[in-house]
Amino acid sequence: MAAPASEYKDRQLIAVIGDEDSVTGLLLAGVGHVNPPPDAQKNFLVVDQKTDNAAIEAAFDRFTDERKDIAILLINQHIAERIRHRVDSYTAAFPSLLEIPSKDHPYDPEKDSVLKRVRRLFGE
Amino acid sequence: MTDVLGPDIVEQSSSRSELQPQLDKLDSLLERYLNLIHEYQTARQEISRHLSSGFFSLARANFNNSTGTRYGQDYYDERMQATRRISISGTAESPKFESRLDSTEPASPNDLQDEKASENSKEVPVDPLRWFGILVPPALRTAQANFRAAVEGPVPKLASITKQMRALEPEISRLRKSIKRLRNENVDSQ
């Protein structure tokens, strides 16, 4: 049951939903990408206090559903908390979703959707 | 009479003999799964370490920034092109994520310089450090190195491990159900 490579061969980018420092750091690493104009879509969203949850959800949908060029979506865990129902119910094969710590919010295994599934499997 | 009992006995013994291989299979799946959890946690520690060093270096760069501005989104290049990318190989059930440098980025400067210059110089991606000026503080370079280390190592590793875990989870659940059913059949038939 070999999967068609076409399903993921165009998925090459790492997208980010994070606070400014997280996005700045990851863009410094070279993951940032802006599509050519007029589309000019970015593969990142900088979230601050003024960003509402609808905007975060819209970016989440864009990166996980609409765009077919994202391989991995990184999201700060404290931002994932704001759209937790979406993150926990995300089951698509691609892109792969990873919660990452931010400067002010260290990684909390209790909140991680991957480890939540582990706990469920072991009946906790 | 024997006609009625016959199939019953066969079924009873077959469900017993079916049970052991399934239990063995479950054991081996759980062992694989536990190993993956261990790998996941190790890669988690690795990414946390790189990122916290990165945040610390970025804070230090900002603290020492005499212009009073922050190294942040005001300076992002609106035409940026990704140089760190991911390639996915393997099957959709168990894909392998790997970090790679985009081919348009010169691997070693003297290697491609001449060709690139004659081709199309606009195609060569700019080092994101340049967004923040010609002379950036060493702390910002350190931050870049920390974030690169996170993106190159633990990020694709975590993505691959997560996929393998996801693939095993329904298998384990299915097998557990089937074992439960076989056990119930055995109890019923006793």
Round the average pLDDT of chain B to a whole number and report it: 84
Judged by DSSP in three states, A45 sits in strand
Cβ <8 Å between B84 and A71: no
On whether residue B74 sits in a domain, the answer given is: no
Pull the structure tokens for residue B110: 């003297």
d(CA A8, CA A95): 9
pLDDT tens digits along B33-49? 999 999 999 999 999 99
pLDDT tens digits along B69-81? 899 999 999 999 9
Contacts 24+ apart (CB under 8 A), B57-65: B57/B139, B57/B140, B57/B142, B57/B143, B57/B146, B58/A21, B58/A24, B58/A25, B58/B139, B58/B140, B58/B143, B59/A21, B59/A103, B60/B137, B60/B139, B61/B136, B61/B137, B61/B139, B61/B140, B61/B143, B64/B137, B64/B139, B65/B137
In the numeric block, the tokens 């104009």 are attached to A37
On whether residue B72 sits in a domain, the answer given is: no
DSSP string, A56-90: HHHHHHIIIII-SSEEEEEEEHHHHGGGHHHHHT-
Residue among B42, B65, B71, B85 with most chain A CBs within 10 A, to mutate: B85
Q: What residues of chain A score a pLDDT lower than 50?
A: 1-2
On whether residue B164 sits in a domain, the answer given is: yes
Cβ <8 Å between A71 and B52: no
The residue type at A64:
T
Cβ <8 Å between B72 and A33: no
Query: Domain tally for chain B?
Result: 1
Instruction: Return the pLDDT at B13.
Output: 57
> What is the ipTM, given to two decimal places?
0.93
On whether residue B146 sits in a domain, the answer given is: yes
Omega into B125 within 30° of 0, i.e. cis? no
Which residues of chain B lie closer than 8 angstroms to A51, CB-CB?
A: none
Range of the domain at B170: 2-65+83-121+134-189
Instruction: Return the pLDDT at A4.
Output: 58
Instruction: Determine the distance in angstroms separating the CA of B134 from the nearest CA of chain A, rounded to an integer.
Output: 15
Determine if the pTM surpasses 0.90: no
Count the neighbouring beta carbons within 10 Å of the beta carbon of residue B89: 11
pLDDT band at B188 (very low <50, low <70, confident <90, very high): confident
CB-closest option in A7, A20, A114 to B40: A114
On whether residue B177 sits in a domain, the answer given is: yes
On whether residue B15 sits in a domain, the answer given is: yes
Instruction: Return the pLDDT at B18.
Output: 83
* Closest by CA position to A114, among listed B40, B187, B74, B9: B40
pLDDT tens digits along B101-155? 885 544 444 444 444 444 444 556 789 999 998 889 999 999 999 999 999 999 9
Pull the structure tokens for residue B101: 């440098």
**Chain A residue with minimum CA distance to B174:** A121
Percent of chain B with pLDDT over 70: 79
Instruction: Determine the distance in angstroms separating the CA of B182 from the nearest CA of chain A, rounded to an integer.
Output: 20
Strand partners, A97: A73
> Which has more confidence, B186 or B74?
B74
On whether residue B166 sits in a domain, the answer given is: yes
Task: Say which DSSP state B136 is in.
Answer: -
CATH number, domain with residue B109: 1.10.287.3240
On whether residue B127 sits in a domain, the answer given is: no
Pull the structure tokens for residue B18: 């079916």
Instruction: Return the pLDDT at B4.
Output: 46
